[in-house]
Amino acid sequence: MLDVKFIVNNLDYVKEKLKYRNCTVSLDKIASLYEERRKIVFEVDNLRTEQKSLSKQIGFIKSKGGDDSELREKISKVSEIIEKKEEELEKTEEELNSLLLMIPNIPLDDVPQAEDEKGNEVIEYWGEPRKFNFEPLPHWEIGTRLGIMEFEAASKVAGSGFIVMKDKGAKLERAIINFFLDHNTSLGYKEIFIPFLIKGESLKGTGQLPKFKDDLYKVDGEDLYLNPTAEVPLVNVFRDAILKEEELPVYVTGYAPSFRKEAGSYGKDTRGILRQHQFNKVELIKITKPEDSEKEHLAMVKDAAHILQLLGLPYRIVKLSAGDMGFASAKCYDIEVWLPSYGTYREISSVSNCLDFQARRANIKFRRKENQKVDYVHTLNGSGLAVGRTVIAILENYQQNDGSVIIPEVLRDYTKFDKI
């Protein structure tokens, strides 16, 4: 959530920065409601002052044995006006807050100003895409031929958009999760095992609600949702907390299955497991002081990219444009892995700096040691990595002419086999 005072005091600047952010909220309406709220608060404060003054006068008249009936009638009328004004204030604040929750984060100044992925900037490449001496197969054909992926069984169990992984395929997925977690913890991230069901307040804290309610799976009759990304529970562990400055930065990592309806993506990536309703992901989270978030953001990108180096998978790093970033992001780098069947790089991690956007929504603060001032923290998140897409990348990049797939060396202690 943006600071409403900042919006009102910098209205033209905010409008310009949100030009490519698909913001459907009228910022002029925000400013109008803010002014209306300020006016009502001022009126209520004056009425309360009048109410106190009348109460003192009543006390004085009573002490002298006088008639206070006229003053009591006045104070009753003032109380009625205050009650109506407070109801009006509550409605105004509800409308203002509901609009503020729908405004995306403001992109940082070095974020490309463009409306979609065409404005993204490639920052660097690592590794050379493999040149095959045979026609490489897509992962869904590889997985089916090896008997490690079953699409029909998944459809029978849950419908389209799901996968059943079998035998060495299931072991590979589990091995990747464990490898990611072990690697992340070796870098200083603290592992947290999180709930897979999440309250609406948590989703509001990280920005999924109310904006993306259509993409969430909700438990009928309860304020519980299936986890859409481990970012949500990992950040909300710290909701309503005031951390000590010396506790920062906080690094955490965690695994969770993620569930998304993928609303608005109908017809995209229908073959294989690139886009699923359920997928595994290992998340990286940092909670930092505001002055440290930029350097911590770059470090997190390196942490996530290093995993692909260890796996020997070619990738590139892309700085996203304002129009291509996620709702809560102020700046985002995508790490895209090379997929032979697509003949291009596809996202395997998005690493975002959200500044204090989520911290304001989730009320996460820290107390500075020097002056005891309380400020909002900055939150950062990134996949470390998307597990299913790592499976795709391994199957496609390490496939052999005889139909087998070589397992990257760093995974063999986890899989206990070197080939599928």
Task: For 22-48, write each residue's pLDDT tens digit.
Answer: 999 999 999 999 999 999 999 999 999
pLDDT at 54 over 90: no
- List the beta bridge partners of residue 226: 197
State both tokens at 156: 């029978």
Domain boundaries, the chain: 4-100, 117-415
Q: What is the mean pLDDT of the chain?
A: 96
Give pLDDT tens digits for 229-282: 999 999 999 999 999 999 999 999 999 999 999 855 556 677 899 999 999 999
For the beta carbon of residue 46, count every other beta carbon within 10 angstroms: 10
pLDDT number for residue 265: 58
State both tokens at 223: 């304020």
**Strands of 141-230, DSSP E:** 149-150, 164-165, 190-191, 197-199, 224-226
Model confidence band, residue 60 (pLDDT cutoffs 50, 70, 90): confident
Topology of the domain comprising 4-100: Helix Hairpins (1.10.287)
Question: What is the rounded CA–CA span in Å between residue 20 and residue 321?
Answer: 9
Q: Considering the domain 117-415 in this protein, what is its CATH number?
A: 3.30.930.10
Give pLDDT tens digits for 111-164: 999 999 999 999 999 999 999 999 999 999 999 999 999 999 999 999 999 999
pLDDT at 319 over 80: yes
Among residues 323, 317, 330, 333, which one has the least CA distance to residue 116? 323
CB 233 within 8 Å of CB 195: yes
pLDDT number for residue 264: 55
pLDDT number for residue 124: 98
Mean pLDDT of 217-230: 97
State both tokens at 413: 């202690």
pLDDT number for residue 270: 73
For the beta carbon of residue 388, count every other beta carbon within 10 angstroms: 24
Tally helices (H) and strands (E) across the chain: 13, 15
Counting residues of the chain whose pLDDT is more than 70, the rounded percentage is 99
pLDDT number for residue 263: 58
Tabulate helix, strand, coil % of the chain (nearest 5). 45, 20, 35
CB 229 within 8 Å of CB 255: no
For the beta carbon of residue 186, count every other beta carbon within 10 angstroms: 8
Counting residues of the chain whose pLDDT is more than 90, the rounded percentage is 92
For the beta carbon of residue 278, count every other beta carbon within 10 angstroms: 16
Q: Taking CA 195 as the corner, what is the angle to CA 193 and CA 196, rounded to the nearest 5 degrees?
A: 115
